[in-house]
Structure 1
Amino acid sequence: MKRQNQGLLALTCCGLIFTAWMSQGNLILVACLLFVLPFVISQAFLVCVGFIIFSYFRIHEAFPLLMPLKIPQLLALASLAGLGWQLWLQRDSVNWHRLQTLFLLFSAWVLVSCLFATNRGEAFASFNGNFIKIVIMVFAISWLPQRQPQLKVIPYLLLLSGLLIGGLALFNKTNGIGLVEGTRVTIGRDIGSMLGDPNDLALVLQFPVSFAMAYSFHGPKWQRALAFVVLIIMIMSVLATQSRGGLLGIACVVFAMALLKSRSIVLPSIISGVGLMALVLLAGISDRSSGGAAEAGIDESAMGRIYAWQAAFNMAVSNPFAGVGLNNFYYNYYFYSPHWDGKNHAVHSTWLQILSETGFVGLVLFLLMVIGALRVSYQLLKRLEHHEMKPLAQGLWLGTLSFCVSGTFLTQGTTWPLYILIGLLLALDRLTLNQEANHARTC
C-alpha cells in the first residue's frame, strides 16, 4: 500500500473513532484500546516503567494539566496486562531469587500488621491503594525485561523525571510558590500532593541523584556533561527543601563515589564532611522557622523527631507482635507520644516507622530484606567491574546506600525508592548471569 493511501486510511480510522466516541462516550474509547494491546504486550516493561515514574515522581500532580487523563491508572492496567501475558508465555523460564523470598516474607507481614491494626480501615486502604502496587511492580521490574538494553533506558528516564521535578521546585522557590515555613519549597501543596511536604519532595528528588552521580563518570563526554548538569540541579533542588535527611543522602552518595574512585577512606571522609557542611550552609537551614539558628539548644525540629521516635518505640513495645498497623503511626501519635503540641506528627525515620507499624518481627524481616539488597548490589558492583552495565550497577549501589543513610531521617519504609531498587537489582542480576551462562555454553 502506498504511503498516501496509508495516511488516508489512518485519518479515516481516527475520524470514525472520534465520531463513535462523541456519540457513545468512553465505552468506544475503551474498545479502541484493544488496538494498542499488541504494543502493550511487546513493550510491557516500558509501560511498567512509565507507571512507576508517574507513581513515584507524581508527574501528574506536579503538572495538574495531566490529572484528567488518568495516566497512572491507564499505565497500571496496561502493566498488569503485559505482565500477565509475558508470565504466561514464559512461565517455564521464570527465575526466583532469595531476595524475592525475603521481600515476600516482609510483604506478608505487612498484611498481618493490617489485620491487627488499630485502624484497620486506614491500614487496608494504604495496603490496597499503594503497597499492593509496589509488590506487583517489584516482580514486574525483575521479570519483564528480556534484554540488557531495556535496563539502560531506566536511568535516563529517572534523570529526565528528576530534572522536571527539580526544575519545577527551583521555579517555585524563585517565585515563592508553595513555600513552607517561609523558606522550604514544595510542589502541589494547594492540591494536597505528596510533593507538598518538603521532606517527601527531598526524598523524590534524591532518588535520581545516585544515577546522576554514577553517569557523570561514565560514557561519552556529552553524556557526562548532561549527567553532571542534572546532578547539580538535583542538589540545588534538595537544598531548596532544606531537608536534613536529603542532605545526608547526598553526602552519602558523594562519600560512596569518592570511596570507589580513591580506594581510601580518609580522602572520601574529608570530601563528604566538608561537602556536607557546605550543603548545610547553602541550604540555609539556619533560616528555617523550625530548626533554625534562632532556637537555642536542641531546636524544635530536632525535638519533634525525638518525640516522634519515642512514640514509635512506645508503639512497638505496646504492640510487639505486629505493631499498630500499616500507615497507622500518624493516627496513634497522640496515645504514645511523651509530648503533645496539639497535632500528630510523622515518624521521620524509616527504621522506626517499620518498627512501630509492623512490630519487632516486621523490623527484622525488613532489615533482612535491606541487607539482602545491599549484598546483591555489592556483588553486582564487583562482578560488573568491566561490564557495559557498570554505570547502572554503580547507580544501584549508591542508591541503596543513600536509602540506608537518608532513611534514618526520612519516612520511606513503604514507599517506592527501595522497592524500585530491589526490582532493578533482581533484573540486572538475572540478565547478566544469563549472559554469562550463554557465553560459557558457546565457548
Structure 2
Amino acid sequence: MWLTGLFSLLIIVLYEQFGFVAAFAIVLLPFGAVMAVQISTFFIILFILFSYFRLHEAFPILMPLKIPKLLALASLAGIVWHLFISRKLKPHWHTGHLVFCLLFFWLTVSVFAAKDRPLAMMYWSDIMVKVFLMVFVISWWLKTVSAFNWVRFGIMISGTLVACVALYNKANGIGLVEGTRVTISREFRSQIGDPNDLSLVLMFPVSFLAAEMFSSANSNWKRFFALLGLCTVIAGIIATQSRGGLLGICAVLGYFIYQKVKNPVIVMAIGGAAMLVLLAVAGISDRQSGGAAEEGVDASAMGRIYAWQAAINMATSNPLTGVGVNNFISNYYFYSPHWDGKNHAVHSTWFQVLGETGFVGLALYFVMIAIIIKSLRRSYLISLRLQNDNLALNANALRAGLLGFVVAGTFLTQAFTWPIYILLSLSLALEKMANEQLIEQ
C-alpha cells in the first residue's frame, strides 16, 4: 500500500516540476520494464536495425525520442532478467567471442596510447562499449528460426526505406555532396551523411534481398518483392556515386550468380559488363572528384593513395598501437606525404585498422574476418546436410554480406562501426542454431 502511495506522490512531484511528459514517462516505466522482459527479442532486433541503418537519423522526426538508447536499455534489461533470474538465456562461448574480446582489448590499449586520448576515449565510450555488449547480446539471444526471419525481414525493409530517402534527397537536391552525390541527414552529422558510408550501410540489405530473390525455395511473389527492394537499394547506392559501393554490388550479385552458373569465366564476364553499366548509370564521370575531367590518376584515387601512405607511416611509427582509435584524421597532417590544406579520411577499412591500432590490431581484425568466414561455411554445410532452405538462405545472405563488406570496405571506412560486428554476432548465432538443429536431427 505504501509503495502505491509513494509512486503516486512521485508522479505528482514530476508533474509539478517537469510537466506532463515526465509524469507520463514514469507511469509507463513499469509497463516498459515488463515488455522488455517479455519481448526481449523484439527490442534486440529493433536495436540492430536502428543502430545499423540509423533510422532515427534517416527520419529526423524520430530523433527527439532517443530510440536507440531506449532500445539498448530495454534489450539489456531483458538480457539481465533472462540471464540471472529466469535463466532462459544460456550463454555459449565461441572462438569468435574470444577473438573479438582480444580485439576489443587491443582497441582499449590503443585508446590509452592514442595521440589524442580524449578523442579516442569519447569514441570508445560512445560506440565501442555498446558494440562490445551487443555482440554478446545478439549472438546469445537470436536462437530461433523465427528470430532470424524477423532480422532478415527487418534488414530488407529498413534498407529499402533508407534507399527511398536517398533517392528522394537525390531527386530534390537535398544534402548533395560535390553537387551530385547523395547523403542523408548530413546537417545532423549523421553516419549516413557521407556518401561512401551510406553506400556501405546499404550493402547489407543488397545481400539479403539478393539471397531472397535467388532462393528457389521462395514463392514467385516473395522473389518479385525482393527484386523490387533490390532494385531500389541498388539505385540508392548508385545515387551515392561511390565506386567502392558499385564494386560491392558486383561482388554480392556475382556470388549468387556463381552459385547458379558455376563457371568463373562467365561470372567474371557478367561482372565486368555489369560494372561498366553501373559506372555509366551512376554518372561517376560527372563527379567533381574522380570524374572524367581529371586526367591520369584522378584526385579521388590520389587522395586514397596519400591516405593509405599516411596509414602505413602511422603504423611504422607506432607498430604496436598505431595512433589510436578515431585518431587518423586528426593525425593526417603529421604522417601524410602530401598536404593540401586539410585532413582526410583513410577511405579503407584495412588501412584504418592498420593506422589506428597498429600491426597487432590488423592481425586480430583479419583473424576475426577468418572466424566469420569459417563460421558461415559451417552453417552453410549444415544447411545442405539437413536440406534446410531457411538455414541456407540466412547463411547465404550473411556470406554475401561479408563479401560485400570486404570488397566495398577496401575503399570505404567502416572498421569500428556496426556493420562487421553485427555480421560477427549474427554469424555466431546462426552457427549455434545450425548445430542445435543438427543434433536434433
TM-score range, shorter chain: over 0.9
Q: 1:223-272: CA deviations, max 9, x gaps? A: 11111111001111100000011011101001111111122211111111
Q: Which residue of 1 aligns with 2:157?
A: 160
Please show how residues 165-314 of structure 1 align to structure 2 within 5 Å.
Answer: 165-218=162-215, 219-314=218-313
Identity of aligned pairs, percent? 48
Distance 2:90 2:83 in 1: 9
Distance 1:418 1:397 in 2: 12
Tell me how far 1:194 sits from its aligned partner.
1.8
Q: Does 1:151 align with 2:153?
A: no
Find the residue that maps to 2:214 and give its secondary structure: coil
> Higher mean Cα deviation, 313-322 or 95-104?
95-104
Distance 2:344 2:247 in 1: 21
Find the residue that maps to 1:384 and give its secondary structure: helix
Please show how residues 286-435 of structure 1 align to structure 2 within 5 Å.
Answer: 286-385=285-384, 386-387=387-388, 388-435=390-437
Distance 1:237 1:263 in 2: 29
Q: 1:126-156: CA deviations, max 9, x gaps? A: 0110011111111111101242211111111
Question: Residues 239 and 30 (structure 1 numbering): CA distance in 2 closer, same or farther, change over 3 Å?
Answer: same
Find the residue that maps to 1:118 and give its secondary structure: coil
Please show how residues 18-33 of structure 1 align to structure 2 within 5 Å.
Answer: 22-23=15-16, 25=18, 26=22, 29-33=25-29
**Structure 2 spans left out of the alignment, 5+ residues:** 1-8
Q: Does 1:58 align with 2:54?
A: yes
Preserved CA contact (<8 Å) 2:143 2:430: no
Tell me how far 1:164 sits from its aligned partner.
1.0
Tell me how far 1:336 sits from its aligned partner.
0.3
Counterpart residue type for residue 374 of structure 2: R
Distance 1:344 1:320 in 2: 22
**Structure 1 spans left out of the alignment, 5+ residues:** 1-15
Distance 1:22 1:168 in 2: 38
Q: Which residue of 1 aligns with 2:70?
A: 74
Preserved CA contact (<8 Å) 1:381 1:397: no
Preserved CA contact (<8 Å) 2:89 2:141: no
Counterpart residue type for residue 396 of structure 1: L
Q: Which residue of 1 aligns with 2:33?
A: 37
Question: Residues 146 and 253 (structure 1 numbering): CA distance in 2 closer, same or farther, change over 3 Å?
Answer: closer
Find the residue that maps to 2:398 and give its secondary structure: helix
Tell me how far 1:17 sits from its aligned partner.
12
Distance 2:196 2:403 in 1: 18
Q: 1:146-180: CA deviations, max 9, x gaps? A: 42211111111011111111001001111111111
Distance 1:160 1:82 in 2: 25
Find the residue that maps to 1:216 and give its secondary structure: helix
Counterpart residue type for residue 112 of structure 1: V
Find the residue that maps to 2:414 and give its secondary structure: coil
Preserved CA contact (<8 Å) 2:200 2:409: no
Question: Residues 27 and 18 (structure 1 numbering): CA distance in 2 closer, same or farther, change over 3 Å?
Answer: closer
Counterpart residue type for residue 395 of structure 2: A
TM-score by length of structure 2 reads 0.93
Q: Which residue of 2 aligns with 1:13?
A: none
Counterpart residue type for residue 273 of structure 2: V
Preserved CA contact (<8 Å) 2:203 2:249: yes
Question: Residues 357 and 221 (structure 1 numbering): CA distance in 2 closer, same or farther, change over 3 Å?
Answer: same
Distance 1:286 1:154 in 2: 37
Q: Which residue of 2 aligns with 1:6?
A: none
Counterpart residue type for residue 250 of structure 1: I
Tell me how far 1:292 sits from its aligned partner.
0.2
Counterpart residue type for residue 48 of structure 2: I
